[in-house]
Amino acid sequence: MVSPISPWPSGFEDLTRDELAVLVPELLLSGHLIDRSGMAYSIAAFGREGMAAVAIEEWQVASPVYTRRMQRALGFTGDSVETIFKGLQLDIGAPPQFMDFRYRVHDHDRGEFWLDHCGALADVEPMGEDFVRSMCHDIEDPTFDATALATNPHAQVRPIHRPPRVPADRVPVCAWTVTIDAAHVPPPTPPNFEIAANSRAAQLELDSIDPLDPGLADYTGPLLSDLRFADFSRSALVRMADEVCLQHHLLTLGFLIAVNSRTEPAAAIEIGRKQFTGIAGLTSERIRKALDLGDDDTALARVIGLHPAWNPLRYTGARIEVGEAGVQLRIPKRSDAVVDGTWPALIDATHLAPLDAMARGVNPRYAAQVVADDENELTIGFVRAAEPFAEAGEVAITRFSTGADFRFTDRGIPLPLTVV
């Protein structure tokens, strides 16, 4: 079932082109850090090997769905190595600069990529070689393939070298080949893939990009060494932002599917809420800083309205209001997001920790409280206490990632990567 077109515009519609160019890479990075938020609780519940299994399933289920969505949105559909690499540049699995993917295309069927910097490795190396192997071997092998297979069922991603690093400061940190060969037999469809493929998030219709808006309206040109988001039109950036937020929801759906298959429903929901709380707070903080916002009600309303938990608005149905009563968030109980069971479904009148964390990313004095609760909608208000609250443990755990303080830089004009 495809969601009906909603009267709501995009939650990013009132941003300028410059603001969107800053926000889109921030959203890509926050999507990547979802796993930093959930990893600790997966390890506690299932051990290191169980955590790896959860990560494999969540990415295998989610990434093919959102990869195809972004390809359609920006018009770079195809079955080549170049198409695979373009998809990676707009994937929360490979946020720009933090996961510094570099690419080389040999021809339609052969290419290479390597990472000059890997924020994920910087997070995991201090945990020891076993965790490095879990990420760089156990998790990467099936999930890189799953992403590539979304473009071509005969694609394979194979390592040239990868961590543990020898010597310890080896750069690039890893290198991989991508080969398309009709003799490659596609692996079986991952378990539970159809749940994500048939989700409301997968089928959501968003507004088309306006081809007359100044700037790039698509990514049909050559593969670029880096995406400079300021080169895209405002309309294209709005669509990118909504698509990246759907990547958050689809990855969370994959995470919850994997966790649910390994524990009791109540325990799975609790793990999901902790994951949501950790990433909610850190994402708010980064959005506020990136857009140079304040810490008052106006800033809070702005941050909540841009937060990936509540976007696309057409998916969540959320409404954010600011007035004499302060900031209020209205969460419908029958949205597509609730049907899918993603983040909005984890909030109810007695479970507001993710909202507390989200608000305290703007100002540590905010607290969420129930204003109204009926069969159709939950209304949350945000009040300021006299003293700041301590940071939630879930946010502190997520903050261990180097992504918490990562800063993007302007790399100048990107180069086209032509076939040699």
CA distance 121 to 267: 29
- Give the single-character DSSP code of 232: B
Spatial CB neighbours of 282, under 8 Å, sequence gap ≥ 6: 30, 33, 37, 361, 395, 398, 399, 404
Does residue 3 have a pLDDT over 80?
Answer: no
C-alpha distances in Å from residue 31, one per residue of 3, 229, 373, 417: 23, 17, 30, 26
Does residue 4 have a pLDDT over 50?
Answer: no
pLDDT digits (tens, 9 = 90+) for 81-96: 999 999 999 999 999 9
Does residue 7 have a pLDDT over 70?
Answer: no
Q: How many residues does the chain have?
A: 420
Of the candidates 313, 380, 314, the one whose C-alpha atom is nearest the C-alpha of residue 353 is 380
Q: Tell me, what's the pLDDT at 365?
A: 98
Choice between 4 and 126, residue whose per-residue pLDDT is larger: 126
CB–CB of 29/406 below 8 Å?
yes
Does residue 1 have a pLDDT over 60?
Answer: no
Choice between 152 and 323, residue whose per-residue pLDDT is larger: 152
Q: What angle do CA 134, 68, 109 make, to 5 degrees?
A: 75
For residue 351, the SS3 value is: strand
* Chain-centroid distance, C-alpha 252: 9
Q: Tell me, what's the pLDDT at 141?
A: 94
Does residue 336 have a pLDDT over 90?
Answer: yes
Q: Tell me, what's the pLDDT at 150?
A: 95
Give the pair of three-digit tokens for residue 414. 């990107």
Does residue 5 have a pLDDT over 70?
Answer: no
CA distance 32 to 98: 10
Of the candidates 312, 315, 319, the one whose C-alpha atom is nearest the C-alpha of residue 336 is 315
Q: Find residue 369's DSSP bridge partners.
A: 381
Element (H, E) at 177: strand 174-180
pLDDT digits (tens, 9 = 90+) for 141-194: 999 999 999 999 999 999 999 999 999 999 999 999 999 999 999 988 888 999
Q: Tell me, what's the pLDDT at 187?
A: 87
Q: Which residue has the tokens 């609790």?
A: 270
Torsions phi, psi for 301 (to 5 deg): -60, -40
Does residue 236 have a pLDDT over 50?
Answer: yes
Q: Tell me, what's the pLDDT at 90?
A: 98
CA distance 360 to 364: 4
CA distance 301 to 227: 29
CA distance 110 to 226: 20
pTM: 0.96
C-alpha distances in Å from residue 291, one per residue of 19, 34, 372: 7, 21, 31
CA distance 75 to 94: 20
Phi-psi region of 128 (alpha: psi -120 to 50; beta: other; left: phi over 0): left
pLDDT digits (tens, 9 = 90+) for 339-380: 999 999 999 999 999 999 999 999 999 999 999 999 999 999
Of the candidates 70, 61, 354, the one whose C-alpha atom is nearest the C-alpha of residue 204 is 70
Spatial CB neighbours of 334, under 8 Å, sequence gap ≥ 6: 317, 376
Q: Tell me, what's the pLDDT at 191?
A: 87
C-alpha distances in Å from residue 287, one per residue of 10, 136, 407: 17, 29, 12
Q: How confident is the model at residue 222 (pLDDT cuts 50, 70, 90)?
A: very high
Q: Tell me, what's the pLDDT at 73?
A: 98
Exposure string over 181-198, b if 16+ CB within 10 A, otherwise e: eeeeeeeeebebbebbbe
Q: What mean pLDDT value characterizes the chain? A: 95
